[in-house]
Amino acid sequence: MKVHDWRVFSQSDKFGAFWVLILCALAAIAAWRIGGVVRVAAQAKTKVNPNDGLTYVWIPPGTFQMGCSPDDAECQNFEKPAHSVKITKGFWIGQTQVTQAAYQKVVGANPSNFRGDRLPVEEVSWDDAQGYCKGLQMRLPTEAEYEYAARGGNPAARYAPLVGIAWYGANSGETTHEVGQKQANGYGLYDTLGNVWEWVADWSGAYDAAAAVDPQGPPIPPNGTLRVLRGGSWDLVASVVRVSYRGWIGPQARGSNIGFRCAGN
């Protein structure tokens, strides 16, 4: 009887050990995947700008496919045609969207609807955003620079499942959220999708299929006076919150879903 009891225990223990090993293996894989994201971000070259207190990340030069991502069935015509873009010079870009604390520090005012030091500043026009960046001896990123940085080296429409990387209509609770709370992309940037739309430097215009080098957008606005917005925001459906999606609006516009981040060489 004792032998029988021991055998039952031994078989059960072996069975349990098998599943422990399986769970450990799965945990190791998960840790490796998460660790990979952390390592990429940790390896990024960063600096803190003393004028606004924000962290900026160095984006190396490179070539990427701008516009509709491969196998993205949700693309609109204004995201096409996808085309090769070469960024010849590395640049700094905000690790996060400009916060209300940073804006208050530089400008001396906070126009935002939703209030909180670590929330992104909003209710800012294109001129407001560009003025802030110039005050730091920086500028707004071009549309090409923004998409290149936002992709983080990933050609897909989103660099990870949307719920883990962005605040949008399904999870925002109809408000902005503190910057840097979601998973960073491969360059260590946060909120390149969702939370608030981000002004970029370009006037809006149709894409050309030809390869481009350091594109600056149309020199003269072809469809009036509309500036480009990128990244999507807290109030949008998932189909819009994709890295190639483009918005545009008059540069004087302000809204509780419009913010920005600065760039510089």
Residue 209's pLDDT is 96
Cis peptide bond prior to 81, omega within 30° of 0: yes
Residue 211 · residue 46 · CB < 8 Å? no
For residue 67, give the nearest of 248, 260, 247, 246 by alpha carbon. Answer: 246
- Separation between Cα atoms, residue 5 and residue 73, nearest integer Å: 60
Q: How many residues does the chain have?
A: 265
- Separation between Cα atoms, residue 186 and residue 115, nearest integer Å: 29
Residue 222's pLDDT is 63
Residue 227's pLDDT is 96
Residue 44's pLDDT is 80
Residue type, 89: K
**Cα–Cα distance list, 3 to 7, 12, 16, 94 (Å):** 6, 14, 20, 68
Residue 224's pLDDT is 64
Q: Digits of tens for pLDDT over the chain (265 positions)?
A: 222 222 222 333 333 433 434 444 444 434 333 333 333 444 689 999 999 999 999 999 999 999 999 999 999 999 999 999 999 999 999 999 999 999 999 999 999 999 999 999 999 999 999 999 999 999 999 999 999 999 999 999 999 999 999 999 999 999 999 999 999 999 999 999 999 999 999 999 999 999 999 999 998 766 668 999 999 999 999 999 999 999 999 999 999 999 999 999 9
